[in-house]
């Protein structure tokens, strides 16, 4: 099975002993399965075994090119230079989904990308990233906008920062809308911090205000100082490129779209 999330291709050698799990995984990631002949960024040989979810928070180590990710329901060890690894996985799509979220965040954080707790909308010939932690209204706003905008995700959005600007990608990682999505990318036109309100309003976000809020929206389980430093630099770059704003929105209708 080959899955492409953002511009990252992952290949998995699943054992044939659990066809029900393979079918469910194929359905879950159907919009992100790829037949591209490009060599994968990582290939995993997979062993399935019933495991408990505890501990729930993953631990991550990255020394030189050796990556280890460990949680109760999965363990992986991968050589990033050789682009090969081994994955021990609880045979559950939920465990696979959690592993993919962590892995994609690690690979994006390592270079010029981020995985952000945000909703992303394609609207008016561009994409808007609307960042916020749990309870900020990402799914509510996405449901309201769905009639007029294409929703890339209402939960976790990958992005890449490059010389020409910022690219955002759809993802299979969804929140309350429970979508499955399809592979899609778009140049980022604007970035907002979500604020629930009784009226729709947009105000400039100062650099310190933006950094303090946005960094809490970046998915990062690594304790390595260099990864945190990179996240700070990328956040500063986003502020310079996009001059983010605060989006105060009312959940009564899609009137906030007029502000984008």
pTM of the model: 0.94
Q: Are domains 2-110 and 114-259 of this chain identical in fold?
A: yes
**Tokens describing residue 152:** 């890339």
Alpha helix (H) residue ranges in 68-156: 93-110, 138-145
Beta carbons of 154 and 175 less than 8 angstroms apart = yes
H/E stretch holding 249 reads strand 245-249
CATH number of 2-110: 3.40.50
- Domain 114-259 classification at class level: alpha beta
Question: Would you list the domain boundaries of the chain?
Answer: 2-110, 114-259
pLDDT tens sequence for the chain (260 residues): 999 999 999 999 999 989 999 999 999 999 999 999 999 999 999 999 999 878 789 999 999 899 999 999 999 999 999 999 999 999 999 999 999 999 999 999 999 999 999 999 999 888 999 999 988 899 999 999 999 999 999 999 999 999 889 999 999 999 888 777 789 999 999 999 999 999 999 999 999 999 999 999 999 999 889 999 999 999 999 999 999 999 999 988 999 999 99
**Cα–Cα distance, 23 to 17 (Å, whole number):** 12
């Amino acid at each position: 099975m080959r899955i492409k999330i953002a511009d990252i291709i992952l290949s998995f050698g699943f054992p044939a002993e659990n066809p029900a799990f393979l079918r469910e995984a194929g359905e879950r990631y159907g919009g992100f399965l790829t037949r591209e002949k490009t060599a994968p960024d990582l290939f995993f040989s997979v062993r399935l075994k019933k495991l408990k979810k505890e501990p729930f928070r993953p631990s991550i180590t990255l020394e030189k090119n050796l990556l280890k990710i460990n949680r109760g329901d999965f363990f992986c060890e991968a050589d990033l230079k050789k682009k090969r690894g081994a994955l021990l996985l609880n045979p559950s799509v939920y465990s696979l989904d959690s592993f993919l979220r962590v892995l994609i965040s690690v690979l994006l954080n390592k270079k010029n990308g981020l995985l952000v707790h945000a909703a992303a909308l394609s609207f008016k010939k561009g994409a808007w990233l609307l960042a916020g932690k749990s309870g900020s209204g990402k799914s509510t706003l996405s449901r309201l906008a769905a009639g007029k905008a294409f929703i890339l995700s209402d939960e976790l959005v990958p992005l890449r920062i490059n010389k020409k600007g910022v690219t955002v990608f759809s993802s299979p990682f969804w929140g309350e809308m429970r979508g499955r999505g399809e592979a899609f990318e778009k140049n980022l036109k604007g970035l907002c911090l979500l604020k629930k309100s009784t009226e729709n309003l947009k105000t400039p976000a100062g650099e310190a205000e933006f950094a303090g809020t946005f960094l809490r929206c970046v998915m990062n389980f690594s304790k390595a100082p260099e990864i945190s430093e990179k996240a700070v630099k990328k956040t500063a770059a986003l502020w310079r490129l996009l001059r983010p704003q605060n989006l105060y929105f009312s959940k009564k209708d899609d009137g906030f779209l007029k502000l984008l």
